Structure 1
Amino acid sequence: MIKKTLIPLMLIFCLLFLSACGSDTKQAVNCNEAAQKVLSSQNFVEDMETMDKELIEKRLGLEYDIYADVAMILDSSSQTAEQIIFATAKNDEDLAKIKEAVEINRDYLIDLCMGYNPGEVPKLENAVYKTKGLQLAFIVSSDSEKANNTLMEIWK
């Protein structure tokens, strides 16, 4: 009798324990709210503008439906490389695609800036680029340390 009740109770306990461990790493913050917090923490050189769905697709070359959530804020004058990208993927495969697109975009901007605005290259090379669970953050600013501290505060 004890074995019959003990085994199901142990199984339930194990399932609860495992489900509690997994959910914590996959939680993501709202991308727009996170991007706005980073924006307000930085002293960007130019005015920054939030991108709409079509511009996000064009900039990263990915269909919009790949994201569970996404926000992109860019220098509205296009004179600097400064930008904020927060993206939450739907799964690990989509996260890998988003990471690749962000890396390609970063490398393209480095090459572009070398030719006409080399002062922006260090910002790109020192950009904050991190993932947590299924969420990615890419922040190009003149103060990478401050951007990183803000990101860690958002993701705590």
Structure 2
Amino acid sequence: MENSESLKLGNQICFPLYAIAKEITGLYRPFLDELDITYPQYLVMMILWEKDGYTVNHIGEELFLDSGTLTPLLKRLESKGFISRKRKKEDERVVQIFLTENGKELKQKACDVPAKILEKINVPIEDLMELKTSIHKILNKIEK
């Protein structure tokens, strides 16, 4: 006999995760529109603001994106003048991504985005950090 209870939306762990990700990403939209970038582009820029010159493969691993998704995203950032793509001299198959001056300047404009998001969410930071820790534990189990 089948267990139809397992198919109820309210019993799914994936749905609240999907819904909160969608809603929080939506909160970013007006702030990122001002910067002329999308949320996935913002994620790439945050990686590069931490350390310039990462390879496409490294960025893809960090963001859980395949090259088919990441390459067009990088091309759009390059066309906006925020990054440049360069092939490594030692191995031309490897492409590194570097911030342009505009990309470095964008960091200063983006500095207030996290605080604006926290204000919009209006949940104690401790609760958000606990949620983040729990999600990372699950994500690490899935990756193995």
Q: Tell me the TM-score normalized by structure 1.
A: 0.26
Q: Of Structure 1 and Structure 2, which has the larger fraction of its residues in strand?
A: 1
* Structure label with greater radius of gyration: 1
Query: TM-score, with normalisation over the residues of structure 2?
Result: 0.28
Q: In proportion to residue count, which structure has more helix?
A: 2
